[in-house]
């Protein structure tokens, strides 16, 4: 395993800052690796991380584990929580790591000379022992690893919008192949042209 300082340098390189959440991410990445008995990030996409929020924390996870969204070894399921599940895709074992509920209070004991909370956390998160920082629970996934990862090269077209769907994310409904957006509604709605031009007219009138 590379020393913590190296990993923090990697994490903050693309950030222009180091912050408590990156340190938490790096430490959690290392804790996840050791929960799965890895001495170093395993090869061949063996490790899959499901992070429960985005932001600085995730860059810390990536620095410690080399898992990234681009490599399809890290997924963000946004629950708004600084927590992550580490999955050994070869054995199927998985551990969810989360900060101890009182991690902030505990941190101050490790940086007694630092009155500023932010900097006390920065200092403490680098030296606190894992078992004071985190809770680790063995878990099973509710979606199979095979379904999460799918297989390369699989693609179909949505019968409604015509767009290509990869990784078996299509939905079969009444004999149709649909994308999630066409089947259930998506995270966006198309802005009607009429309302755009109305908006522009109103803007122009102001």
- Decide: 27 and 45 in contact? Cβ < 8 Å: no
**Could you tell me the CA-to-CA distances from 197 to 168, 191, 194 in Å, in that order?**
38, 11, 5
160 touches Zn ion (CB under 5 A): yes
Of 71 and 184, CB closest to Zn ion:
184
Of 146 and 168, CB closest to Zn ion:
168
Q: Let me know if 17 is exposed, middle or buried by CB neighbors in 10 A (0-12, 13-18, 19+).
A: exposed
- Decide: 56 and 74 in contact? Cβ < 8 Å: no
Three-class SS of residue 95? strand
In the bound complex, what is the minimum distance in angstroms from residue 146's beta carbon to Zn ion? 24
Taking residues 10 to 29 in sequence order and writing x for each that binds Zn ion by CB under 5 A, - otherwise, the string is: ---------x----------
In the bound complex, what is the minimum distance in angstroms from residue 170's beta carbon to Zn ion? 9
- Decide: 29 and 23 in contact? Cβ < 8 Å: no
The contacts of residue 194 (CB under 8 Å, 6+ apart) are none
139 touches Zn ion (CB under 5 A): no
Copy the structure tokens of residue 150. 């799918």
Backbone angles phi, psi at 123, to 5 degrees: -70, -50
Count, residues near Zn ion per rule CB under 5 A: 7
In the bound complex, what is the minimum distance in angstroms from residue 165's beta carbon to Zn ion? 8
| Residues numbered 164-203 forming contacts with Zn ion, rule: CB under 5 A | 179, 182
Of 137, 154, 161, 200, which one interacts with Zn ion (CB under 5 A)?
Answer: 161
| Residues numbered 87-116 forming contacts with Zn ion, rule: CB under 5 A | none
Of 49, 107, 128, 158, which one interacts with Zn ion (CB under 5 A)?
Answer: 158
Of 32 and 60, CB closest to Zn ion:
60
Alpha-helix runs per DSSP H in 14-141: 20-35, 56-65, 103-109, 117-124, 130-133
Of 17 and 193, CB closest to Zn ion:
17
Of 26, 56, 98, 128, which one interacts with Zn ion (CB under 5 A)?
Answer: 56
Of 92 and 186, CB closest to Zn ion:
186
Residues of this chain that interact with Zn ion (CB under 5 A) are 19, 56, 158, 160-161, 179, 182
């Amino acid at each position: 395993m590379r020393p913590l300082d190296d990993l923090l340098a990697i994490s903050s390189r693309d950030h222009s800052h180091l912050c408590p959440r990156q340190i938490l991410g790096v430490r959690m990445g290392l804790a996840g690796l050791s929960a799965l008995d890895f001495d170093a990030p395993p090869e061949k996409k063996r490790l899959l991380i499901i992070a429960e929020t985005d932001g600085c924390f995730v860059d810390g996870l990536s620095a410690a584990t080399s898992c990234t969204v681009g490599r399809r070894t890290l997924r963000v399921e946004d629950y708004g929580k600084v927590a992550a599940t580490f999955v050994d895709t070869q054995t199927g074992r998985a551990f969810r790591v989360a900060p101890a509920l009182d991690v902030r209070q505990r941190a101050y004991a490790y940086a007694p000379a630092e009155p500023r909370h932010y900097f006390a956390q920065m200092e403490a998160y680098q030296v606190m022992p894992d078992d004071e920082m985190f809770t680790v629970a063995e878990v099973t996934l509710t979606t199979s690893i095979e379904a999460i990862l799918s297989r390369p090269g699989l693609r179909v077209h949505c019968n409604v919008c015509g767009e290509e769907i990869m990784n078996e994310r299509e939905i079969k409904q009444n004999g149709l192949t649909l994308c999630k957006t066409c089947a259930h509604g998506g995270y966006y709605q198309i802005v009607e042209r009429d309302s755009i031009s109305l908006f522009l007219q109103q803007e122009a009138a102001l």
